[in-house]
Copies of this chain bind each other. A is one copy, B any other.
Amino acid sequence: MCEANAYLKEGEEETLFMESVDVIEPYGNGLKLIDIFGKQKFLRARIKDMTLLNHRILLEPIPNSEEVSHAFSCS
């Protein structure tokens, strides 16, 4: 099985956000993750790094300040 674990990097800390992730898609201002059991999680973050052979996805939060510049996007 080739699912991966998603970690969220906040400052220097990395915390496990979701295990056994299968699907990752952009969703609104962030990402939607779906695990192998079909459970969904949303978060305001982007992919910082991903190594599939290590089953590891590293996410980083999107700062609120970036919301302003996207204020006119059509989503």
Contacts and interface: CB of A to CB of B under 8 A. Distances in A.
Interface of A: 1-4, 21-26, 36, 46-53, 55, 69-74
Given A23-B52, A72-B72, 19 more contacts: A2-B2, A2-B52, A2-B55, A3-B52, A21-B52, A22-B51, A24-B47, A24-B49, A24-B52, A25-B48, A25-B50, A47-B47, A52-B52, A69-B70, A70-B70, A70-B73, A71-B72, A71-B73, A74-B74
A52 B23 CA distance: 6
Nearest to A33: B50
A3 B47 contact: no
A69 B69 CA distance: 9
